Every structure is written in structure tokens, then in C-alpha cells.
A = this chain, B = another copy of it.
Amino acid sequence: MEHREPGYVADKAQLLKRLRRAEGQVRGLQRMVEDDVYCIDVLTQVSAATKALETVALQLLDDHLAHCVAEASAEGGPVAEEKLREASAAIARLVRS
């Protein structure tokens, strides 16, 4: 199947910005642990970094539904079914992670 541009292409800059920030948060967590920062304060930051990654995931999913799944649905047939199956599996992983 010829690989098309990903659904998130229009949001790349924003996704990269969020991922860089999440990377900085995870690096910041390492410094907190190295500096023996109190457990609860480190935990608060872990929740913040997890939320940042969740926001990235929801953005990716929105774009995937709005482009890849929508385009495939317009075509119909097995391609559409596969896209829907993939999207459902990705949503289940997200809900259960």
C-alpha cells in the first residue's frame, strides 16, 4: 500500500513541541531523583509528564481518525475495515495504559 502522509502532518510542529517539553520533564525527573527530592514531589511531576504524553496521544488519534480513517471510510472495503480495526486497538491500548 503506497504510504501516504500521516494524518498528523498539519500538527507536526505542535506535536514536536509537546514531545520536546515531555522530554525535558523526564530529564527534570532524573535531576529530582539524583537530588533526593521528596517522593511526593517527584510523583507529582511523573503525573504531569504522563498527562503530557496522553495529550500527544489524543492529538495523534484525533488526526488519525480525521484523516486516515475518514479517507479510508470514504473508499470503503477492506482498507477501511483495517484502519478501523487498528484505530480501535490503539484506543484500547491508550485506555488501558
Contact = CB atoms under 8 A, between A and B. Distances in A.
Nearest to A90: B43
Contact of A39 (B60, B70, B91, B95): B60
A87 B84 CA distance: 13
Given A33-B8, A73-B69, A88-B58, A93 B19 contact: no
A27 B44 CA distance: 22
Interface string A72-96: 0110100011001011101111111
Interface in A28-64: 29-30, 33-34, 36-40, 42-44, 46-47, 49-51, 53-54, 56-58, 60-64
B93 A94 contact: no
